[in-house]
Amino acid sequence: MNAYGEKNLTMLTDFYELTMANGFFENGRGNQIAYFDMFFRHVPDDGGLAIMAGVEQVIDYLKNLSFSPEDIAYLRGKGLFSESFLDYLSHFEFACDVWAVPEGTPIFPHEPIVTVRGPVVQAQFIETMVLLAVNHQSLIATKANRIVRAAQGRAVMEFGSRRAQGYDGAVYGARAAYIGGCVGTACTIADREFQIPALGTMAHSWVQLFDNELEAFKTYAKEYPDSCTLLVDTYNTLKSGVPNAIRTFNEVLLPMGRRPKGIRIDSGDITYLSKKARKMLDEAGFPDCQICASNSLDENIIRDMIQQGACVDSFGVGERLITASSDPVFGGVYKLAAVEVEGTILPRIKVSENVTKITNPCFKKLWRLYDRETGKAIADVLTLHDEIIDDTKPYEIFDPDHIWKRKTLDNFTAVPLQKQLFSAGKCVYQSPSLQEIREYCRQQIDTMWDEVLRFENPHDYYVDLSQNLWDEKQRLLSEYSR
């Protein structure tokens, strides 16, 4: 869904994708079948896992790939592209096969989360937008999930639109945050387009505009008696804000037969203030009045607040969520894994002295192995595309970096993770609703061990290679080293 008006994003690409495409085309390689993998190398914030997101926007982009006459005129004016290539673009029809890990799935470094197979002139060209959509939303979904887990069951609201990097960052950031577990957003357009509950109370300007705080509170309560949450820290939280809120509840809401929804604290030592406010509200007969905290929160501050006994029922998290400010780059890459020559798939590998940058070659399949007794994920395994993991028989997994570390599994379920999105350029995937994706994400997080979920020094979740794939990788490394 395009959340801010229809736009043709075909030209949102790195310029070298076009120059390479023209070069492939002019040298008779444009229709050679190539296989590309998108993967990432490092979990943000040194976490144990990331959350897949952005797939629906990849689908929307690929469904609408077309070059307008204005695009062709612009490219012609660069003086770099042949007329035959420009004619090809003017009649462009997407023809690739695409697979991806579903949104909301926990994902790990070095595994193919998107795979593209098709004419190299096309499969290469779409790199930029595939990376853009998945990198951004996976980053925000991952950050949101960390914050939600830190809140230990308390509601987390995404409040970051005004601090996002651009309007699309606000809209799609809200979408990703919802996938990660936030209960709603302050971003109204995200509610309109994605049915993410729009939430909010008031700004300090509301309180400042009136002659006094009590008048401001009473006016708001009369206007919104069924959803009355008052911002109590404009002047003094404990000396005026909370007392005036209690007076408003007694003098406005109770005579109307209503109960207050809550108060929000947006500054100061919120842990201390929330404890005092809770006591004041309870003594006034409002134990059901919830306390919401905001003000530059993140998972670490929230965790500390809860450990210190903060009486907070929900959190509004803005800038540090919507920008993932503690580690704001997801770092997904898009690399060639294989090509077809006369119908035979030939592996390709990128070699580097930086070991983490050596790619996994071949057309691959990604599996997740679950313990049948606990339902917990044991490991992910990359196999050759035509390999099958038979979970009725024992299966040996091993650390691909330290191959002497081996383990035989005998009571597990093997599940292929990728779903096919496109076949020969036609969309064959029905995207779940955003609410279904969010619930799926919650369920999948429950399959992860606590050791993987912890924030400091999480357990390294194993992403293994099958013996056949490992052998093929070693063969290529040996070949290139010679």
In a domain, residue 4? The reply is: no
Please give the pLDDT value at position 258: 98
Rounded CA separation 216/11 (Å): 50
**pLDDT confidence of 1, banded at 50, 70, 90?**
very low
Verify that 337 and 437 share a domain, yes or no: yes
Burial profile 302-327: b = 16 or more Cβ within 10 angstroms, e = fewer: bbebbeeebbbbbbbbbbbbbbbeeb
E-assigned strand segments in 329-410:
333-341, 344-347, 364-371, 377-384, 395-398, 406-409
* N- to C-terminal Cα separation, the chain: 50
- Give Cα 57 distance to the centre of its chain: 12
Instruction: Read off the pTM.
Output: 0.96
Please give the pLDDT value at position 6: 64
Read off the pLDDT of each residue in 100-108 and give the average, rounded to a whole number.
Answer: 98
Please give the pLDDT value at position 4: 43
Verify that 25 and 81 share a domain, yes or no: yes
Q: How many domains does the chain have?
A: 2
Verify that 313 and 361 share a domain, yes or no: no
Read off the pLDDT of each residue in 438-444 and give the average, rounded to a whole number.
Answer: 98
Share of the chain above pLDDT 70, in %: 99
Verify that 184 and 153 share a domain, yes or no: yes
**pLDDT confidence of 3, banded at 50, 70, 90?**
very low
Verify that 403 and 267 share a domain, yes or no: no
Instruction: Tell me what the pLDDT averaged over the chain comes to.
Output: 96
Which of 69-73, 134-138, 400-404, 405-409 has the weakest average pLDDT? Answer: 400-404
In a domain, residue 458? The reply is: yes
Verify that 74 and 118 share a domain, yes or no: yes
Answer yes or no: is pLDDT of 188 > 70.
Answer: yes
Residue 398, domain extent? 15-140+328-481
Answer yes or no: is pLDDT of 307 > 60.
Answer: yes
Q: Could you tell me how many helices (H) and strands (E) the chain has, helices first? A: 17, 21
Read off the pLDDT of each residue in 108-123 and give the average, rounded to a whole number.
Answer: 98
Read off the pLDDT of each residue in 16-21 and give the average, rounded to a whole number.
Answer: 97
CATH code, domain carrying 444: 3.20.140.10
In a domain, residue 6? The reply is: no
Strand order in the sheet with 412-416: 412-416, 364-371, 377-384, 463-465
Verify that 343 and 308 share a domain, yes or no: no
Verify that 382 and 310 share a domain, yes or no: no
Q: Which of residues 269, 304, 322 is at a domain's end? A: 322
Verify that 455 and 386 share a domain, yes or no: yes
Residue of 21, 187, 101 lying closest to 441 (CA atoms): 101
Q: Which of residues 298, 322, 346 is at a domain's end? A: 322
Answer yes or no: is pLDDT of 102 > 70.
Answer: yes
Rounded CA separation 442/51 (Å): 11
Answer yes or no: is pLDDT of 11 > 80.
Answer: yes
Tell me if 9 sits within 8 A of 301, measured CB to CB: no
Q: Which of residues 322, 344, 360 is at a domain's end? A: 322
pLDDT in tens, 329-342: 999 999 999 999 99
Read off the pLDDT of each residue in 234-239 and give the average, rounded to a whole number.
Answer: 98
